[in-house]
Amino acid sequence: MSNSTSYAPNGAGPGWRGTTILCVRKDGKFAIGGDGQVSIGDTVVKGNARKVRRLYNDQVVAGFAGATADALSLFERLEAKLEQHSGRLARSCVELAKDWRTDRNLRRLEAMLIVGDAEDTFLITGAGDVLEPENGVAAIGSGGNFALSAARALLDYETDAETIVRKAMAIAAEICVYTNNALTVEVIES
């Protein structure tokens, strides 16, 4: 596996479009950004959706790609796991992934999450994956590869994680028709 990661949700193919989520961890900062575009087919139905949220007393930030209702359900479940495990992010992510993989109803959810706190970053999939990017850069969604590529290029030239996220997301929005520049960016400092 490469040092940074980009994924599309379960079953992603020509019909799955509409978001870009990017996270960067650098010099004691974790920044995650998501665009605001929601598309159904080739139609933009909303331009200012909020796909990045703070959880667990603002100590964890999560972004989603995929079906909105499915992602909101996963946010709720992750929040419950964080409460159950006293905010331990790694344990909560693993428990969520186990439930997602084994529960018959959860297996049908079509979304992915990138989550992070002051110390850890994880990408969680419905296939049971809980992945930690080696260099702190990960992206998901239809514009994920564009944002990931731009962020990797900027890592050596920019010192601030939030600046990298904003610049890389702007580049992705210029290339991917399913990504816009209505960003939500959240930052956690360690």
Residue 39: what are its φ and ψ, rounded to 5°?
Answer: -120, 145
CB contact at 8 A, 124 and 97 = yes
CB contact at 8 A, 142 and 18 = yes
Active site residues: 19
Looking at the chain, list the stretches that DSSP marks H as alpha helix, in order from N- to C-terminal side. Answer: 68-84, 89-102, 144-154, 161-175
Strand pairing of 29-34 and 130-131?
Answer: unpaired
The whole-angstrom separation of Cα 152 and Cα 54 is 25
The closest alpha carbon to 177, from 42, 21, 68, belongs to 42
CB contact at 8 A, 20 and 146 = yes
Q: How many residues in total does the chain contain?
A: 190
Residue 18: what are its φ and ψ, rounded to 5°?
Answer: 120, 10
The whole-angstrom separation of Cα 59 and Cα 158 is 25
